[in-house]
Amino acid sequence: MNLDKEKIRAENQKNSAAHNESFDCLSNSLTNQGIDIASVIQKLGEFQVAIPSWALGAGGTRFGRYGFYGEPSTLEQKLDDVGLLHALTQTAGAISLHIPWDLPEDYKAIKERAKSHNIIFDAVNSNTFQDQKTSKVSYRYGSLSNSSKASRDMAVQHNIDVIKIGEKLGSKSLTVWLADGANFPGQSNFQSALQHTQDSLQTIYSELPQDWKMFIEYKPYEPNFYSTVIQDWGTSFMLANACGEKAFTLVDLGHHLPNTNIEQIVSTLMWKGKLGGFHFNDSKYGDDDITVGSIKPYALFLIFNELVYGMMNNPQNPPLAWMIDASHNIKDPLEDLIQSLEAIQEAYAKALLIDRDALKAAQLEHDVVQCQEILQNAYRTDVRPLIEKSRLDNGGAINPLKAYRSLQVRNQLIMERGKNSVASGL
Ligand code: RM4
Ligand code: MN
Ligand code: MN
């Protein structure tokens, strides 16, 4: 289905009085503080986040999966869902595909469909954590790191195939996330596993088109519970350096041990010009993949503080590929993604409000109290009217969630697709 612009406009009519009132009030107060509101609103509009194809259906856990009615069961329908999100929010202008969950059949039709929704193809993700029915060998004991050459070769070839698929769609980057590791001490030799991984990544890298990037994602545990080959940012950074200047580290917010200072990792990588991609989600314990900002919104704000600082001060770091990597069992996936997009925009907007000159001065004076005041003054500002304004200016909904419900989008999807359609993926 397509969301008619007229319908969104009609929804906005209902909310415009309340929006205008809160926007006027906030813009007066921010202008008095010397903030250039127009530039903040423009930056918010430019900030586009890719939606992963696997977040459009309900995710599962190892205890089961509760599907959601009207899930997209084809790649075309997944594109339609991202199109709906983009029409409402104007911030979801890209999709990230996972191969082979999303194998395109008719490339021309797929590209046209994406174009009709005004969405582009972001990073393509390879999958060497599941054996396919046609696989001749297994990833049971690893893929790029496997001690068996046959398994490594198959994983390398898969990544090269994924690049080829991405090229046909107009993607410009490959994300490699490895499940490789060990479940028990002694199971594998750490150094050989790392050496094999480096060799395999270098082979894949040598097949990367000139204008492409490779993102290397790290994760400390799961599905292996004793060790993961690319366990942390340092390992990813080291491998990216071993590959070359088109290889970068990818930070996924859920891929850290509890209480890790993620903002400091972000800062270090940007300073080195090696932060390439970013996966948003939130978590309480591990890689929980729940709605962005639902558990630790202040941590997200502090991360955005470093991202904004890096975008302003680190020309050595290329523009980042932003993606939501969330998926869970309970909510309507589209409502969940709308909430995540809102949380991302909110943290970004707050980080844009930080008075950076004042912060620098307070840091140099060692005025610790003032440093905290400056950060928290930005954090405590209710920036939602700015986000509403940016969406409104770009043809989106003032309140996407309200509009989604009032336009009965899910009911229409169920009518089109049937109640029991199931999305491919996790
Ligand atoms: C992993 C990781 C990857 C994602 C898979 C589905 O934990 O976050 O980015 O591709 O999950
Ligand atoms: Mn991820
Ligand atoms: Mn993950």
195-231 pLDDT, tens per residue? 999 999 999 999 999 999 999 999 999 999 999 999 9
Sorted by sequence, the CB contacts under 8 Å of residue 330 that are 6+ apart come out as: 58, 66
State the average pLDDT over residues 180-205: 98
Distance 177 CA to ligand 1 centre (A): 6
Name the average pLDDT for the chain: 97
Residue 420: the pLDDT is: 82
Q: What is the DSSP letter of 55?
A: G
Q: Work out which ligand 1 atom sits closest to the CA atom of 54.
A: 6
Strands (E), 57-161: 94-99, 120-126
pLDDT attached to residue 61: 85
Q: Give the closest residue (by CA) to ligand 1 atom 9.
A: 177
* Spacing, Cα 106 to ligand 2 middle (Å): 27
Q: Is the confidence at residue 425, as pLDDT, over 80?
A: no
Q: How far is CA 198 from CA 124, 137, 150, 193, 375, in A?
A: 20, 21, 16, 9, 40
Q: Name the pTM for this structure.
A: 0.97
> Which atom in ligand 1 lies closest to the alpha carbon of residue 98?
10
In angstroms, rounded to a whole number, what is the distance separating the alpha carbons of residues 330 and 66? Answer: 7
Q: Mean pLDDT, to the nearest integer, of 139-164?
A: 98
Q: How confident is the model at residue 71 (pLDDT cuts 50, 70, 90)?
A: very high
The confidence band for 115, taking pLDDT boundaries of 50, 70 and 90, is very high
Ligand 1 site residues (CB inside 6 A) read 54, 98, 125, 177, 217, 219, 252, 279, 287, 325
**In this predicted structure, what is the pLDDT of residue 426?**
64
pLDDT band, residue 119 (cuts 50/70/90): very high
- What is the percentage of the chain residues whose pLDDT exceeds 70? 99
> What is the CA(253)–ligand 2 centre distance, in A?
8
Inter-residue contact 143 to 129 (CB < 8 Å): yes
Q: Model confidence at 60, in pLDDT bands (50, 70, 90)?
A: confident
Which ligand places an atom closest to the C-alpha of 287? 3
Q: pLDDT tens for residues 324-353?
A: 999 888 999 999 999 999 999 999 999 999
Q: What is residue 166's three-state secondary structure? A: helix
What token pair was written down for 342? 């809102």
What spacing in Å lies between the alpha carbon of 151 and ligand 3's midpoint?
23
So what's the pLDDT on residue 328?
Answer: 82
Give CA separation, 16 vs 101, 295, 404, in Å. Answer: 41, 30, 16
Which residue is closest in CA terms to ligand 1's atom 6?
426
Length of the chain: 426
* Spatial contact of 178 and 197, defined as CB atoms under 8 Å apart: yes
More confident call, 137 vs 329: 137
**Pair 410, 69: CB distance under 8 Å:** yes
pLDDT of residue 63: 87
Pairing of strands 173-177, 120-126: parallel
Distance CA 347, CA 282 (A): 13
Q: What is the mean pLDDT of residues 265-269?
A: 98
Select from 177, 230, 283, 289 the residue to mutate for testing ligand 1; criterion: most ligand atoms less than 8 Å from CB: 177
